[in-house]
Amino acid sequence: MTNSFALALHGGAGTISPQSMTVEKEQEYRAALGEALAVGYAVLQQGGSALDAVELAVRSLEDCPLFNAGRGAVFTHEGHHEMDAAIMDGRSRAAGAVTGVRAVQNPIRAARLVMEKTEHVLLGYPGADALARQHGLPTQPVEYFFTQQRYDQLQEALAEGRMRLDHSQALETEAPLMEPAAFPNEDPKKKMGTVGAVALDVHGNLAAATSTGGMTNKQYSRIGDSPIIGAGTFADNRTCAISCTGHGEFFLRAVVAHDISCLMEYRGLSLAEACRIVVHDKLAPVGGEGGLVAVDAAGNVALPFNSEGMYRASQTSADATPFVAIYR
């Protein structure tokens, strides 16, 4: 057992500037980030597990309609919600994930359920919802996930034709590695909504958790990087814990979370240097906008992003005060 512990979390990345937000709205975001940080930090401070800390921190963000996860999930093209989540335990690299869930109040709880109660790693809709109900996880009617802001975003996307019916054929015949234009449903510079958390506990264990509502106006049950182990979520006690946020197609192709771990394990790089190489040298040049939160086995924290802003917060056992930020 050590005396060191650390927690970092994010609430999404993208074109986020002081000019695009009112003072009141910024205060709401900062308060929500601070609340989620306090919830997870309290677990670590009391000697609890990193796994519990990241789950509770993410649940707090899922319950807040400000973020694109859980209650604040965006609308699909069909007008419903398809939520994804993943969680990973750095002790054994056990992991669980769900994709496309529609009724579970906290998708991150369903992801942990997959990890601890099944022999699988990733379950999709409708099976993931059925498993959650079978084990008594809280579910909600569609009205719970409705927010006017998200509905207005869908109407704007539909009106601007960012997902066209005549594009369905092109999607079906497109090459496996599709250009970003094959996903016109969302301007990645505007909305990259995902929430996530990473932690190191006093027992020396790492954990990561990520949850998202996906892309506004998405079709064809599109799945991004968040529920994919190694792409948007990863944890290994030997190296680090990572939770990503950004344009998921790029993070999937780059296997971002695992790549950072590999740079640390095989090249001996520090957490900060490994994150810098992947986020700024690999992702940015090809248009992979976004960021991530990370913590290593020594309790070092990294919060890199190549977008204009990223909702983020962190605190370690050595910190006197929590760190909460939005802009560069």
- Nearest CA among 250, 235, 238, 251 for reference residue 294: 235
Residue with tokens 């008594």: 136
Report how far apart, in Å, the C-alpha atoms of 45 and of each of 35, 163, 197 are.
15, 46, 16
Residue 199 · residue 53 · CB < 8 Å: yes
Which residue among 194, 210, 216, 316 is the active-site one?
194
194 classed as catalytic: yes
Question: Which residues on adjacent β-strands are paired with residue 305?
Answer: 291
E-strand stretches of the chain? 6-14, 83-89, 94-101, 122-124, 195-200, 206-212, 233-235, 240-246, 290-296, 301-302, 309-316, 323-327
Q: DSSP assignment, residue 199?
A: E
Residue 225 · residue 278 · CB < 8 Å: no
Task: Give catalytic residues, as residue numbers.
Answer: 194
